[in-house]
């Protein structure tokens, strides 16, 4: 029987089914009808994951100027245009999609939650609320400086509780340790990354002025948190890229070579990231 409420096109079957909101989207709906919505979701998740890696590298590049505040200010001023501010806001779309779809997968794999329709309604609702809040902070941007310690203590407690719960669910499963770490890092990022982006926009100087950033980063708990966040993102992204390589490359030697290259790149960016996190130590 058809459930009440709006139909996203996955109500009766995730592999196509009745026409609904999603079924009317151009291109995507064609793939959905030929390959199924799960295929489309997995691809969008993958593409957005790769897009986030590009943003991460760009982000680290800009931040690498922080040790020289005047240079950082000049660099940042180049990108501080209406267009880039819009891009910064719209970046929340791939982040939120990837986070919520990743959360859906984790609920699916580890908690047996398989009601796709309910998850999509939740996903859209949470995503829109988050986008609205972020846009609101970005446009108003003049709030009192929020206490970083207070904010991050709360976020860290929520995030660690969530990560621990996930860890307990998956640690004894027969999957490889590397896979489990990727899911665990995803669980940690699920709360931390949207919170990180929100925090940077609660007040404009918090996320954009070298002096304010440096002032925050000189505290040891902040250094540690940035370092852990950096390690979690890098590991998660590197394992993600490795799973994509594994899916498409049959040749063992080529796969091994690319895995080594990926490891070296991850270590290199990890080194730059850690140097940055502790540059005031």
Half-sphere exposure of 264 (CA within 13 A, CB side): 6
What is the length of the chain?
281
Q: Is 259 in the site for ligand HEM (CB under 6 A)?
A: no
Cβ-based nearer residue to ligand HEM, 59 or 141: 59
Is residue 102 packed enough to be buried (19+ CB in 10 Å), middle (13-18) or exposed (0-12)? buried
Q: Which of 98, 196, 201, 216 binds ligand HEM (CB under 6 A)?
A: 98
Dist. CA 67–CA 44, nearest whole Å? 36
Q: Which of residues 171-210 bind ligand HEM (CB under 6 A)?
A: 183, 186, 189-190, 193
Q: Is 66 in the site for ligand HEM (CB under 6 A)?
A: no
Structure tokens at 206: 């918090």
Q: Which of 75, 201, 216, 236 binds ligand HEM (CB under 6 A)?
A: 236
Binding residues for ligand HEM, total number by CB under 6 A: 27
Q: Which of residues 15-44 bind ligand HEM (CB under 6 A)?
A: 42
Minimum distance of ligand HEM from residue 232's CB (angstroms) = 9
When computed from its CA atoms, the radius of gyration of the chain, rounded to whole angstroms, is: 20
Minimum distance of ligand HEM from residue 195's CB (angstroms) = 10
Please list, residue by residue across 171-208, b when 16 or more beta carbons sit within 10 angstroms of its beta carbon and e when fewer do: eeeeeeeeebbbbbbbbbbbbbbbbbbbbbbbbbebbb
Contact segment (CB under 6 A) with ligand HEM among 18-26, 63-71, 95-103, 273-281 equals 95-103
Q: Is 105 in the site for ligand HEM (CB under 6 A)?
A: yes
Structure tokens at 259: 């895995």
Q: Is 169 in the site for ligand HEM (CB under 6 A)?
A: no
CA distances from 61 to 45, 55, 107, 150 (A): 24, 10, 34, 28
Cβ-based nearer residue to ligand HEM, 189 or 217: 189
Cβ-based nearer residue to ligand HEM, 9 or 102: 102
Structure tokens at 30: 């064609």
Residues near ligand HEM (CB under 6 A) are 42, 45-46, 49-50, 52-53, 56, 95, 98-99, 102-103, 105-106, 183, 186, 189-190, 193, 233, 236-237, 240-241, 243-244
């Amino acid at each position: 029987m058809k459930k009440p409420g709006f139909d996203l096109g996955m109500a009766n079957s995730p592999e196509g089914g009745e026409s609904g909101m999603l079924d009317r989207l151009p291109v995507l709906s064609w793939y959905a009808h030929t390959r199924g919505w799960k295929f489309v979701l997995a691809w969008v998740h993958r593409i957005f994951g790769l897009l986030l890696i590009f943003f991460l590298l760009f982000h680290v590049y800009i931040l690498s100027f922080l040790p020289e505040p005047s240079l950082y200010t000049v660099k940042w001023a180049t990108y501080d245009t209406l267009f880039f501010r819009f891009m910064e806001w719209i970046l929340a779309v791939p982040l939120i999609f990837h986070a919520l779809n990743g959360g859906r997968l984790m609920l699916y794999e580890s908690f047996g939650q398989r009601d796709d329709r309910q998850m999509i309604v939740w996903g859209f609702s949470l995503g829109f609320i988050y986008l609205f809040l972020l846009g609101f902070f970005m446009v108003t941007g003049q709030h009192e400086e929020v206490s970083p310690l207070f904010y991050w203590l709360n976020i860290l407690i929520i995030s660690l509780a969530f990560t621990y719960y996930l860890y307990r669910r998956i640690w004894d499963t027969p999957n490889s340790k590397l896979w489990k770490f990727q899911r665990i890092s995803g669980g940690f990022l699920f709360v931390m990354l949207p919170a990180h982006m929100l925090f940077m926009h609660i007040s404009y100087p918090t996320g954009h002025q070298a002096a304010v950033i440096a002032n925050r980063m000189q505290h040891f708990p902040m250094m540690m948190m940035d370092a852990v966040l950096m390690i979690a993102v890098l590991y998660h992204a590197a394992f993600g890229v490795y799973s994509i390589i594994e899916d498409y490359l049959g040749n063992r030697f080529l796969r091994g070579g690319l895995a080594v290259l990926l490891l070296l790149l991850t270590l290199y960016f990890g080194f730059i990231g850690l140097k940055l996190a502790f540059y005031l130590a």
